[in-house]
Amino acid sequence: MASGFFALLDDIAAVMDDVAVMTKVTTKKTAGILGDDLAVNAEKASGFVSSRELPVLWAITKGSFINKLIILPIAFLLSAFLPWAVTVVLVLGGVYLAFEGAEKIYELFVPHKPKKEIDLEAELSEKEVVALEKGKIKSAIITDFILSVEIVIIALGTVVNESLGFQITIVSIVAIIATVGVYGIVALLVRMDDFGYKLISLSKDGKGFSAIIGNFFVKALPVIIKSLSVIGTIALLLVAGGIFVHNIEFFHHFLEQIPSILRDFIVGLLVGIVALIVVLVFKKILKQFKK
């Protein structure tokens, strides 16, 4: 009796160990998208008056959880009844990620009309501010949905050959980590400047240790957000390239002589450029058609 109980505990421990290992592997594979998710949401949650930053972020976080509740059952049904569809969705998502990465590089080097900066306090009424806030929240949730699909599909692709119960456990854990981790860090980032100003106010002459640390936080926030955007772009292309290399036979043997990380970046960039050209041509044709 006792030996059976301890054998059961040993089996449970083995399963938990497998779960921990596979969670680590899948989280590592989705890290690139998490980086871009972090950069996007840090940008979308900032730019509001201080008192509205956390409520806006909480609204986006709730939307992200709802996205996961919609995506996860569909993904598990595909895995159970149409496992080949997981690879198809994964590759299509990789094309989107590659396109997004290439588009960001394109916008960096090709001149385009800058977006008008809006002073939320000076130019808009309270009603207009609320409407703009709702618009940014909706935009962030839609972006989160697209990125969440990729996170879930990449995680599922890692354990697609495991049992359905194991898949549900691993992918659900990764989805929770993605939401809590990303939005928890974003919450810290958007409050960084307020924390800095608080430290500065503690210094009587603005020259003490607290003022130095406070000024560092205030000046570091925009640099961190811009850096995350660059890192996120690179990560998008790496993740996309990795998807193509591991799921498309042609790319699997493409540039095998160079380091894998460089190959993934090149493949992701090339596919992204092709996708970008197709989209730009399509937009131009559509514009001409409307005229």
Mean pLDDT of 25-35: 54
Q: pLDDT tens-digit profile of 113-135?
A: 655 544 444 555 667 667 777 88
Predicted confidence at residue 38, as pLDDT, reads 62
Q: Which pLDDT does position 43 carry in this prediction?
A: 60
Q: pLDDT grade, residue 47 (50/70/90)?
A: low
Beta-carbon contacts of 263 under 8 Å, excluding residues fewer than 6 positions away, are 241, 245, 254, 255, 256
Q: How far apart are CA 275 and CA 79, in angstroms?
A: 27
Helix (H) or strand (E) segment spanning residue 69: helix 50-81
DSSP 255-273: TTTS-HHHHHHHHHHHHHH
- Would you state the pLDDT for residue 83? 81
pLDDT at position 8 over 70: no
User: What's the pLDDT at 250?
Assistant: 84
- What would the mean pLDDT of 223-229 be, rounded to a whole number? 77
pLDDT (mean) for 30-56:
61
Instruction: Identify the pLDDT of residue 185.
Output: 77
The structure tokens listed for 36 are 């871009």
What is the reported pLDDT for 275?
Answer: 94
173-217 pLDDT, tens digit each = 888 887 887 777 777 777 777 778 888 887 776 677 788 888 888
- Residue 219 scores a pLDDT above 90: no
pLDDT score, position 287: 85
pLDDT (0 to 100) of residue 274: 95
Q: What is the pLDDT of residues 254-284, one digit of tens each?
A: 877 888 889 989 999 999 999 999 999 998 8
Question: Which has more pLDDT, 251 or 270?
Answer: 270
Q: What is the C-alpha separation between 272 and 240, in angstroms, rounded?
A: 9
Average pLDDT rounded to a whole number, residues 72-79:
87
- The mean-pLDDT minimum among 56-65, 222-231, 245-254, 281-290 falls in 222-231
